[in-house]
Amino acid sequence: MFNQITDPHYICGMQANITIYLNERPLLLCSDQEPIPAHLAAAKVYTNPDTEKMESVLRKLEDGKKETAIFTAPDVKQLFKKVSLHFTTLVAAGGLVTNPAGEVLMMFRRGKWDLPKGKQDPGENLETCALREVAEETGLHTVALEHKITETFHYYPMKNKKVLKHTHWYRMQFTGTELTVPQIEEDIQDLQWVKPENVAKYLKFSYENIREVFRAANM
C-alpha cells in the first residue's frame, strides 16, 4: 500500500531543502531566498516551475539528458507537494545500525552496498517500521533506536508506476549476540559489519541517498 506524502505528518517534519535523486541525478528543491550550494553552481535554476516544466525536467533527469537541476519557490513544502504529484509516493523507514565496536552494518543488494529499509505498513509508526525492517532484512532483533538522522528521497520505476521513495532514517545500536541473516527474498546477498575507517570504500559502490545518510550522521 502506498502512503501519499501530502499527509501533513510527513510534510511538517521535512527538512528545509530537499534533494530528490532520479537515477542518481540530483534535483534540489529550495527557497528562492537561499544561496545555491557550491557543488550545484552549474545547475540550471527553475523558479516557480509550472506543471509542464516540472514534467520536462523530471523526464530529462530520469533519461540522463540532464545531470542536475534546481527548482526554487518561496515555500519549499508547497513546491515539494507539486513535484510529488508526478509520482506515486511510498513512505519508508530504515536504520544506520552500529555495534559496540563502532562498526556499521551494511548490506549488499543488487550490485550495491545499501542500508536496511522498507515501506511503512498501514497503521504503523515510522520508528516501528524502521526497527521491523532492520529485523526482517538483517536478522537482528536486539536493536535499540536512538534518534532520527535525516530523510531521503529517490525515484525508481516499478511496473507502470513512477515511485518516489521518501525514507526516514534512524540511528540504531545493536547490543545483542545474534548473527546476521540476510533476507534472501529481498535480494540481500551479504551483510557486513564495516569498520568506520573502511566505510568510504563501501560508499563508492553505493547510492547517492545512502551517502547522504552517512553525511547527515557525520560518519
- The residue that leads in pLDDT, 213 or 8, is 213
For 128, how many CA atoms within 13 A lie in the half-sphere containing its CB? Answer: 6
Q: Which of 21-35, 110-124, 199-213 has the lowest mean pLDDT?
A: 21-35
d(CA 101, CA 83): 42
Lowest mean pLDDT among 3-7, 114-118, 167-171: 3-7
- Give the DSSP H or E segment for 133: helix 126-138
Return the ∠ at Cα 190 (arms to 185 and 192), rounded to 5°.
140
Question: Which three three-digit cell numbers place residue 139?
Answer: 536478522
Please report, for the chain, the start and end positions of each structural domain, with discontinuous segments joined by +: 8-84, 93-147+178-216
Mean pLDDT of 187-203: 97
Q: Which own/partner pairs from 176-179 qualify as long-range (CB within 8 Å, at least 24 positions apart)? A: 176/140, 176/141, 176/142, 176/143, 177/142, 178/139, 178/140, 178/141, 178/142, 179/139
Mean pLDDT of 39-58: 94
Q: What is the pLDDT of residue 15?
A: 58
94 pLDDT higher than 80: yes
- Superfamily of segment(s) 93-147+178-216: Nucleoside Triphosphate Pyrophosphohydrolase (3.90.79.10)
> Is residue 153 scored above 80 in pLDDT?
yes
Query: Residue 181: which residues within 8 A CB-CB, separation 6 or more?
Result: 138, 139, 191
All three cell numbers of 181, joined, read: 541473516
Q: 146: part of which helix (H) or strand (E)?
A: strand 143-158
Residue 129 is predicted with a pLDDT of: 98
